[in-house]
A and B are shown apart, each in its own frame.
Chain A
């Protein structure tokens, strides 16, 4: 148990000393994850609602595809975006590789299926009386859908929180597209992977504890937002 108590001690020390490397890794993790969660929500929530509400040929295939994409390996997303933003890629001229924005792009792709799928489930599980009630009170198709989204906002918020949890905890995209550059694209997860590789287990675990604490704080903040 010495190992764990030592890690906890190290974690507290790092926090107390506001170690610049740790502060930078925490900041990069949070900022990149928030941006990618925001973009993924802007795309994923409307997509999930549309798939849940609309009837169209091939709907079953789209649902299966969305389910499959939930299991998308981070390194595959990393590879895909890498091929786009690397110097030879179609977006190479913007010099995005090994910047936080490349990480945001990869994590957004990773999170969209999660947001879309969980939003779809929430909407499908909605009370079947919501839409007819809105319609009989004079709502059109758009307004009744808007009402449905408002009524199901807790489920949709849960989808967004799940996506945030996914992106802040992932390491593949951050490593491949960010490059683990100290003070620039080093996140908590890439730092943990690196410290573990160096044999600095206590430091790695300490960063892991900080990551969990950050996730807890962000979720508590989102929950407070949700209950208003």
Chain B
């Protein structure tokens, strides 16, 4: 099983506030990770780093075996291997089809293949035939699904989903759950956040739990110095001194 991400010594600060502090985190390819934690625990910040959209204040990210060099031309190439769906996604003005086709066009896909992949992605999220609709005329749940289709169409190695099931009805939630659960089998690595333990249970996958920006065992609440895939480093909690009240 190859390694998708290797994060070491990640610290992210906004002014005086440290929002993320991860000593070591390894994500393997072709797996599904469920990222949980309270509001403000650092979930979205971590996703933004994984999407290579924001630079941590300190630390290194190795993506696909290659260290991420921010500000370099290679960043664009690496960034095209991963895509993030925001929890309140922004759709560009224009049609639904134009939105879904956007990233594909940037990758040089055109003509019949562009049409085919756009339609396929929309059908996957249950919006087949929605291509001609204007993005501004959609409901919140529909917009969320278009954004997911826009990401799925790219068939990137990694898909990052920020609360993809938060604003959709039960039926859609079931549909999207099965779509998301089927992705690892196609080789796609998925990291999704959710605040609903029910989703986490239904999707299976490995838990990454954040408390105040630090990796934490989801059940015991013990802070962890690292997360090695499914192991979550249960046997190597942080030295006691670092979280004692003292």
Contacts and interface: CB of A to CB of B under 8 A. Distances in A.
Contact of B53 (A127, A132, A138): A132
Interface string B76-108: 100110111010111011000000001100110
Interface residues of A, number: 16
A138 to B, nearest CB: 4
A92 B101 CA distance: 54
Nearest to B102: A137
A159 B220 CA distance: 58
A129 B86 contact: yes
Contact of B154 (A138, A140, A147, A151): A138
A139 B77 CA distance: 10
A136 interface: yes
A226 to B, nearest CB: 13
B2 to A, nearest CB: 23
A135 B79 contact: yes
Interface in B139-159: 150-151, 154
A130 to B, nearest CB: 6
Contacts of B224: none
Contacts of B103: 137-138
Contacts of A138: 76, 79-80, 83, 103, 106-107, 154
B27 interface: no
A143 interface: yes
B51 A136 contact: yes
Looking at A137, A143, A150, which has the most chain B CB atoms within 10 Å of its CB? A137
B92 A136 contact: no
A133 interface: yes
Contacts of A133: 86, 89-90, 92
A227 to B, nearest CB: 12
Contacts of B92: 130, 133, 147, 150-151
Interface string B35-64: 000000000000010010100000000000
B84 A136 contact: yes
Nearest to A140: B76
Contacts of B102: 134, 137
Interface string A115-145: 0000000000001011011111111100100
B76 A136 contact: no
Nearest to A153: B93
A122 to B, nearest CB: 14
Contacts of A135: 53, 79
Interface of A: 127, 129-130, 132-140, 143, 147, 150-151
26 contacts: A129-B86, A129-B88, A129-B89, A129-B90, A130-B90, A130-B92, A132-B84, A133-B86, A133-B89, A133-B90, A136-B51, A136-B82, A136-B83, A136-B84, A137-B83, A137-B106, A137-B150, A137-B154, A138-B80, A138-B83, A138-B106, A138-B107, A139-B106, A140-B76, A150-B92, A150-B93
